[in-house]
Structure 1
Amino acid sequence: MTRLLYLSYDGLLDPLGQSQILPYLFRLTGPDRRWTVVSFEKPGREPEAESLERRLREAGIRWIRLRYHRRPPIGSTVWDLAAGWWTVRRACRNRPPEVLHARSYVAALLALWLKRPFESKFLFDIRGFWPDEKVEGGFWKAGGWLYRITKRLERRFFEAADHIVTLTDRSREILEQRFQTEGIRRPITVIPTCADLERFRPAQKRAGGPLRLVYAGSAGGAYLLPEMADFFRAVRRLRPDTRWEILSPRPDPQIETAIAGLDSSAVTVRILSHDQVAGALAGADASLCLIRPVSSKTASCPTKIGESLACGLPVVVTAGIGDCDRLIGEGRVGVVLSDCSEAALNRAARELLALLAEGETLWARCRRAAESCFDLGQGVRKYQSVYRQLIESAKSCPNQLL
């Protein structure tokens, strides 16, 4: 029986946890694996937490649920990490895990503290270049003390990790070049944000009717909702019957600001849980995913890309986001925007309408792209392969810990 400990600073009850943690965990369970999951949950969701805890228990997964604290900045994160370290040390001291799977940077710090006392193998699942995302998103000062400390920790994570998982081929190439310069030798596996192809399926497309654009996700951050509104206007000038549906996990004033000035009869905002997103996506014709094209986004793979393609929807995306230039542009399953100027938006609107004219041929091509690149089953098999490598390595070199 192999014992694995999954560490996530994101909550399992959050939309991200629902779409990108739980689907993997439920499929990675088995008679030869015993999972413990540690996550930090926002308060006020006790009924949902109790329901999820029952599901996890039935699947043989032990859930250690800790409270997430938002304030004060920095201090709250330090408090959460200390609580996590103390709780996990006590919970696992008699039967420590063979593998620590840390999702992103905050969880990686916890894994770093636990690796030596537990004598575990450490899988660093980076999920993006987080310190650079913080700077380029305007949350941290470039070259400030937070950035400098986190970059030093980043190197320590890479040095201590026994295996690294990243979301895109472009980020793997960047890491390989960096590791060669810094003398770090670590295996890297690319596993994009996958979609459950059984849940996200194309619907029967209706002939005629309005053209339906959709954006699924939160507002703010790197997502360019005002530019999406401009793109909607560009399409609507060519197809006056165009409608735009925004699917959000919660009410957000940034959405209302972005759509101010648009024809209210043509724009709908729906508040949906992740379980409801698949049906709403399948009823649309094309998906929008405009993101600020900064350098850290080479390591990003938005969840909505795979989910949209799985539903047969072409995707409109900005250039420079992960592997999208190749997957979307060269694969002809959407439109890649070179920039968000008026000329570029108008050109992209024409390209999208030309693609949509292909009808069933386009829908089938989008679905095949999802099956090839974003199949959850394929992602699970890759994680299983990584775990096997780590466990075999632990057996052959039981005392070789950093």
Structure 2
Amino acid sequence: MSVSHRVRVDPQSLRLTKERGPHGATVSGCLPKCESAEPLVWRARRPVKRPGILYLTRTGLADPLGQSQVMSYLRGLSRNHDITLLTAEKIDDADDASHMAALRADCAAHGIDWRPQRFRAGRIGAARNFATMFKVAMRIMRQKPIALIHARSYIPAAIARALWRRTRVPFVFDMRALWLDEMIEAGRLTAGSPMERVLRRMERLCLRDAAGVVSLTDAAVSHLQGIYPSELIGQRIVVIPTCADLDRFPMRPPPDAPMVFGCVGSVTSGWFRLDWLDALFAAAASDDPTALFEVVTRDDSDVVRAGLPNVPTARLTIVSVPPEDVAARIAGHHASAMFYATGPARLGSSPTRLAEILATGRPVIANAGVGNVADIVTGHRVGVLMADCTMDAARAALSDLSALRHDPDLPDRARATAETLFSLEDGTRAYASLYDTILGSAS
């Protein structure tokens, strides 16, 4: 009988091990026309020293997330694979000529063929983004031998599946998170709507037809296997949590007084709980008249400030910095907060900033119900949990944090936790092993 397999990273042996899945036994529509009518030749089976990988992502390389969660892996993967990277860059980023030149130089230094496209917002823009990425990907597959397509998130996976149907080149569905559930919980997609039904069908088909699926958490895998038991029979599933280039986030001693509470990343996305952050900062401001607060984000500063009405304006800094300066900002905080909406969508979440904050030696203040964050925070004693968004709960969390910060081993323990759970080297090797497994079975 076929069995569904879940594959996890073993940090000690750096090998992939299989587990029996919980079930025992292991966008349809018109596609854009190709630019040329010449027949497409699948060149994946030609003997090449380094297999060609076409990496598709809607995350721009100029975006901080593109640097931490795309380029960081590709630098390592490019050692043994011929990487072609297709991204969607925001207009403001694409217009920054000096930054784009630096990114091109980085790619060239690692032998990565980067093909940036412009990202367009809105529903019409999304359709144009899809058509452009599909068309450019088809062109790339005519130009060079591609053995495997790596699709980061849902829309690239739909494009990769369309390419697979045309060429039979296998693809990896790198889910990252439960995106559709996130959209519903953020109010950006209506449950039961025609659009949700179309996207659910896309999710099901991509899970069924992918040569491999990557999830951030075990909880998300179990959730999906409950929804799509037949589609995931025999599917190759790998659990790779969010990893970080820990060398870019060295451990540093905490700054002198006054106390600085920080928060890093997007806070206006719809799934970040800005009301919790407001309660925490307000309670800290009330209890400590010298405390300062900093939000490091690319979000609109006026929108962020409006979402923190109870935080003294004179003590609140909202700043946007380039990715290379984020580590220094985290090092300037005594503790960092991260609060996310809970629900099915959060089962698949592994916040990127958690690894970076812990690597710097700082404790976190978080809420439960988000992936395995609560287990990490409490199990490794590297932070505290806030029960709800009331002032009483915020003061209780601040009291717990004060006690924790008196532990002299806290910085070293936070760093060790990051190295054990979020090593970029381990994550890169897990991706490489998945590539090798798929390419080996396809040859």
TM-score (norm 1): 0.92
User: C-alpha distance in 1, partners of 2:57/2:143?
Assistant: 22
Counterpart in the other structure of 2:102: 51
* Deviation (angstroms), 1:310: 0.5
Query: For structure 1, which segment, 49-58 or 349-358, has the greater mean C-alpha deviation from structure 2 after superposition?
Result: 49-58
Aligned partner (choices 192, 199, 207) of residue 150 of structure 1: 199
8 Å CA contact 2:275–2:389 kept in 1: the answer is: no
From 376, 380, 384, give the equivalent of 2:432.
384
Q: Is residue 2:422 matched to residue 1:368?
A: no
Task: Measure, in 1, the Cα distance between the counterparts of 2:437 and 2:303.
Answer: 45
Please name the residue that 1:133 is paired with: 182
- Superposed counterparts of 1:2-401, under 5 Å: 2-30=51-79, 32-44=80-92, 45-46=94-95, 47=97, 48-71=99-122, 73=123, 75-180=124-229, 184-206=233-255, 209-220=257-268, 221-358=270-407, 360-395=408-443
C-alpha displacement of 1:55 = 2.1
- Work out the percentage of aligned pairs sharing the same amino acid: 32
Deviation at 1:262, TM superposition (A): 2.5
Offset of residue 169 of structure 1: 2.1
Classify the secondary structure of the residue corresponding to 1:88: helix
What SS does the corresponding residue of 2:91 show, helix, strand or coil?
coil
- Distance (Å, rounded) in 1 between the aligned partners of 2:56 and 2:311: 43
Q: Render the CA deviation track for 1:103-139: whole Å, top value 9, x for unaligned.
A: 0000001100111333222110001111111111001
* Deviations 1:179-212, CA, capped at 9 Å, x for gaps: 4365632121111121111111221234x52222
Instruction: Name the aligned partner's letter for residue 60 of structure 2.
Output: G
What corresponds to 2:26 in structure 1? none
Q: Could you report, residue by residue, the CA deviation over 1:250-295 in whole angstroms, capped at 9, with x for unpaired residues? A: 5432212133342234222222111110011012111100111122
For structure 1, which segment, 18-27 or 248-257, has the greater mean C-alpha deviation from structure 2 after superposition?
248-257
TM-aligned CA distance change 1:114 to 1:96, over 3 Å: farther
Asked if the contact 1:53/1:63 (under 8 Å) is kept, the reply is: yes
Match of residue 400 from structure 1:
none
- Asked if the contact 2:54–2:83 (Cα under 8 Å) also holds between the matched residues in 1, the reply is yes
Shift of 1:21: 0.7
Instruction: Tell me the CA shift for residue 94 of structure 1.
Output: 4.6
Structure 2: 5+ residue stretches without partners: 1-49
| Code of the aligned partner of 1:343 | D
Deviation at 1:229, TM superposition (A): 2.0
What letter matches 1:219 in structure 2?
V
Q: Secondary structure at the match of 2:113?
A: strand
Moved more, 319-328 or 179-188: 179-188
**Letter paired with 1:196:** D
Q: Secondary structure at the match of 1:198?
A: helix
String of CA shifts for 1:153-198, please: whole Å, max 9, x gaps: 1000000011111111211222344443656321211111211111
1:102 to 1:310, Cα distance in 2 relative to 1, 3 A: same
Render the CA deviation track for 1:7-63: whole Å, top value 9, x for unaligned. Answer: 001211122112211111112112x42110111112242302233123212311111
**1:324-368 superposed Cα distances (whole Å, 9 cap, x missing partner):** 12111222111122322333222212111111121x311111111
1-structure distance, mates of 2:377, 2:230:
32
**Preserved contact between residue 204 and residue 228 of structure 2 (Cα < 8 Å):** no
Separation (CA, whole Å) in 2 of partners of 1:381 and 1:93: 29
Gaps of 5+ in 1: 396-402
Q: Could you list the runs of 4 or more consecutive aligned residues of structure 1 that deviate by over 6 angstroms after TM superposition?
A: none
Count of residue pairs brought into register by the alignment? 390
Q: 1 CA distance for matches of 2:110 and 2:333?
A: 34
Which residue in 1 is equivalent to 2:47? none
Any idea what SS the aligned residue of 2:418 has? Answer: helix
Q: What's the Cα RMSD here?
A: 1.8
Preserved contact between residue 219 and residue 252 of structure 1 (Cα < 8 Å) = no
Q: 1:273 and 1:147, CA in 2 relative to 1: closer, same or farther beyond 3 A?
A: same
For residues 81 and 310 of structure 2, the distance between their equivalents in structure 1, rounded to whole angstroms, comes to 54
| Counterpart AA for 1:5 | L
TM norm structure 2: 0.84
Amino acid corresponding to residue 69 of structure 1 in structure 2:
R
- The answer for the alignment partner of 2:11 in structure 1 is none
